[in-house]
Structure 1
């Protein structure tokens, strides 16, 4: 969209400001590779490039905005210290900046933040940073950080709704344009609070206006999508927090206005599909990414026909993934693919019932991966929670038919989210 069509009172990062940010952060920020992806180029018959922000020193692009903001503060403000709230990546960027600039920092993180991200934040901050775990969500930590900052007169470093932060993230756009051999037809980037996409889209619409900018959100936290749909900024009451790097209830007001004017399309992708991308990147390309870092690539198949033969860039935003989440990631991927199914099975209270279930009900390629049973009464049937992994989604209907035929079918749990979350 042309700048002439944008309201004059809306903040738009100017190229000169982004260039100044690039200079300011140049000593600490890595110019990450714009690497061709053989795997995805072949799959989509396109020229797919990955902007590897997962290779930054803090393993995400967040260092750009955090360092640009903190290093631009006047000395009298910086001497009072800075404060922020973050679920992980912004925290690490702020911590690194505080250590590098020898400025005191206090970082509020949700109690639910993966341990790996908390430890990394403390490591990057060293003696200059104090980490306080407070609240169950980012929004809880945010409110506590604001109160703390007001009490001690510290500068709050917002993770996304700040001009200097947006300009810092926008430097990715300058790098991509400098690294690309030719025109870029599509760029896909993840969106949480919107700082990255606001900065990125501003740069491209000023320098490469024909490039289509596609924003990607997790299906369980569609804050920007919901706001764009009704044309005004709203706060979601409930969100799925699995994609912790992109799970916010309300995007930034500046970012909303910029994205409303500059984004070509905003889409959502299912969490289970994101998990499959994480596994594929690791197994096929030895690339480790966090859920938010996989979102841009996950969106490619939605545009498979559009991007064929085109030059496409996907921003891989971060790699701060806790290894203890691997089992959960695999589980979500299998559930999304229709390969993992849970049932309550009413087993007859007689010898040989389980043997019959295995011999007559399970298919040759079906595997029991979860079995929970406890005999607590003398009824004719005793319920068990059974998880079955299939080799092919087409095996599901025959499995259910055999369960019903041999009187082993009780209740299917995948379609009962409340009971499913309680039991599994």
Structure 2
């Protein structure tokens, strides 16, 4: 049975709880990008995200007897708050299953809106499985975060508002994608009313389930997802959202963590509001779209672009990480490893090459009698600057590595420069990620065999949902197979960095 989404969106019940969010111009970003950019301010909803639209529309359309029994959902954040608020408005019970790793801020927000919180499992998938069991046991109705026609229609009212608020030409609307509920609703409405407008999805490079699924022509399940943009960290998109995306979405753009951090800063500079990573995804996508077009014969200029700022439930501690990475994401900072000869005047020659350019970081320690390795951070004007500077250093006799896009350099090496040791024989280097929760670090350390010497260890709490550790292990050659088995049993994301040239140079 086909669903008339235009009718469902036009008749959706959302305004008992939602506002018609503003469509605000972005003067600073617009001037820099050479286009007229607007933010659709869903971060200004009472729960600081668009999610209450779909949740309320689903619940308001339930039969009275079903609504009276109550609802249940699984969520780590925004959907949970939308369900709790909607239940309070409709006078029904709401059970919200959240992972045990959910920040207390979000747990308290759901409780404050009347939701009954149940903590279960370490991940969303664990919470989802537990919610399905409770649904049957308690005879509640499950409110899906994205794969439900009523939820999709509720989110689609955002597109209805955009076209009402801006009746002139719109080149493209950019939409963050997690499970696909938001873009499915937006695309269904836009293509029914103004098919000339492009609908462009945006995902992070490490949570690109919809992008991979569209390329494959079927839904693809990711084995792991990045947790920085936790609001879009979905391993499998919805069946209905995938169908609608295949039919209506023009393309999907992928952006990295640094680009998202830069977009958060862009929105702050224009509005003095701070979006969460998922909330800034659309902005990052719009910027990437314009940047990509600049490199072709068909640049995008003087066009109207709309980015849906879909959420602002940001953990305050995470701002440390965002601030550190925004400059790289905006191509305002470049990182280099420069080798200089240990001879009189070489340091001065390097400084002369840098000239009046602002130095953001400079780390140096003598390594041997012939040469020294310097870790340098420089302020740059655009994305073309780093390779040009690297060539300039090389031209003047300073071998150079451009580290601007080297993840280990940005996360760890910049804090560890000068750590070479003659004692670090047979050292293997690994970079780990694990859910940031009490006891996780101790559990990690206890998993290491007692006869394996930890020769390097770097851990820095970045204020995010993921803990990042760099570990040097001295493991006898005959025990390397045992090491691989132990690492595999940990169930953590890890990367062997032993051959990384940055490690060999500095550590």
Per the alignment, residue 297 of structure 1 pairs with 283
Partner of 1:159: 145
- Post-superposition Cα deviations, 1:159-203, rounded to whole Å, max 9, x if no partner, equal 000111001111111111211132322111111110011011111
Alignment of 1:96-115 (within 5 A): 96-115=85-104
Deviation at 1:284, TM superposition (A): 4.0
2:147 and 2:200 map into 1 onto residues whose CA distance is 20
Task: Provide the residue aligned with 2:326 in structure 1.
Answer: 333
SS of 2:11's partner is: helix
> Cα gap change, 1:284/1:314 in structure 2, threshold over 3 Å: closer, same or farther?
closer
Distance 1:91 1:370, change over 3 A: farther
Is residue 219 from structure 1 mapped to residue 210 from structure 2 by the alignment? no
In structure 1, what is the equivalent of residue 427 of structure 2?
none
The answer to whether residue 105 in structure 2 is matched with residue 116 in structure 1 is yes
SS, match of residue 255 in structure 1: helix
Q: Say if 2:172 and 2:198, in contact at 8 Å, map to a contact too.
A: yes
1:12, distance to aligned residue in structure 2 (A): 4.1
Name the counterpart of 1:192: 178
In 2 relative to 1, CA 75–357 (structure 1 residues): closer, same or farther, beyond 3 Å?
farther
Q: Distance in 1 between matches of 2:406 and 2:285?
A: 25
**What does residue 390 of structure 1 align with?**
378
What is the aligned partner in structure 1 of residue 27 from structure 2?
Answer: 38
The 1:136–1:387 alpha-carbon spacing in structure 2 relative to 1, beyond 3 Å, is farther
Alignment of 1:24-423 (within 5 A): 24-123=13-112, 125=113, 128-301=114-287, 302-303=289-290, 304=293, 307-334=300-327, 336=329, 337=331, 339=333, 365-366=358-359, 389-392=377-380, 393=386, 415=406, 417=408, 418-419=430-431, 421-423=468-470
TM-score by length of 1: 0.81
Q: Secondary structure at the match of 1:213?
A: strand
Work out whether residues 334 and 379 of structure 2, in 8 Å CA contact, stay in contact via their aligned partners in 1: no
Using the TM superposition, give the Cα deviation of residue 260 of structure 1 relative to its aligned residue in structure 2, in angstroms. Answer: 0.2
Contact in 1 for aligned 2:28/2:269 (Cα 8 Å) = no
Q: Distance in 2 between matches of 1:401 and 1:366?
A: 20
Higher helix share: 1
Q: Deviations over 1:200-254 (max 9, x none)?
A: 1111111111111111111110010000001011111111111011110011100
Partners of 1:169 and 1:195 within 8 A in 2: yes
Query: Cα deviation per residue 1:354-410 (whole Å; 9 max; x = unaligned)?
Result: xx9999988785455899x9xxxxxx99xxxx97643344666888999989xxx99
> Helix, strand or coil for the counterpart of 2:132?
helix
Asked whether the equivalents of residues 13 and 163 of structure 1 are also in contact (C-alpha less than 8 Å), the reply is no
Higher relative contact order (CA 8 A, sep 6+): 1
CA RMSD of aligned residues (A): 3.5
CA distance 1:47–1:390, change in 2 (3 Å): closer
**CA distance in 2 between partners of 1:94 and 1:228 (Å):** 29
Is contact 1:13–1:199 with CA below 8 Å preserved after alignment?
no
Unaligned runs of 5+ in 1: 1-8, 346-355, 374-379
Structure 1 residues 181, 83: CA separation in 2 closer, same or farther (over 3 Å shift)?
Answer: same
Alignment match, 1:18: 9
1:241-273 deviation digits (Å, cap 9, x = unpaired):
110111100111000000001111112111110
Distance 1:97 1:182 in 2: 34
Per-residue displacement from partner, 1:313-365 (whole Å, max 9, x unpaired)?
2111111111110011123334544847598x9xxxxxxxxxx9999988785
Q: Which is worse superposed, 102-111 or 185-194?
A: 102-111
Return the TM-score normalized by structure 2: 0.68
The alpha carbon displacement at 1:135 in A equals 2.4
- The number of residue pairs the alignment matches comes to 391
SS of alignment partner, residue 299 of structure 1: helix
Supply the distance in 1 between the matched residues of 2:404 and 2:24 (Cα, whole angstroms): 42
CA distance in 1, matches of 2:317, 2:166: 37
Change (3 A) 1:158 1:369: farther
**Is this contact kept in 2: 1:12–1:202, CA < 8 A?**
no
Query: Secondary structure of the equivalent of 2:274?
Result: coil
Q: Tell whether the 8 Å contact from 1:202 to 1:258 is kept in structure 2 after alignment.
A: yes
Question: In 2 relative to 1, CA 152–402 (structure 1 residues): closer, same or farther, beyond 3 Å?
Answer: farther
Q: Give the structure 2 partner of residue 350 of structure 1.
A: none
Moved more, 52-61 or 142-151: 142-151
Structure 1 231/414 Cα, relative in aligned 2: closer, same or farther at 3 Å?
closer
Alpha carbons 1:273, 1:298 under 8 Å: kept: yes
* Residue segments in structure 2 that go unaligned for 5+ positions in a row: 340-344, 381-385, 409-429, 433-467, 472-507
- Separation of aligned partners in 1, 2:313 and 2:94: 21
Q: Do 1:361 and 1:403's aligned partners in 2 also have CA atoms closer than 8 Å?
A: no
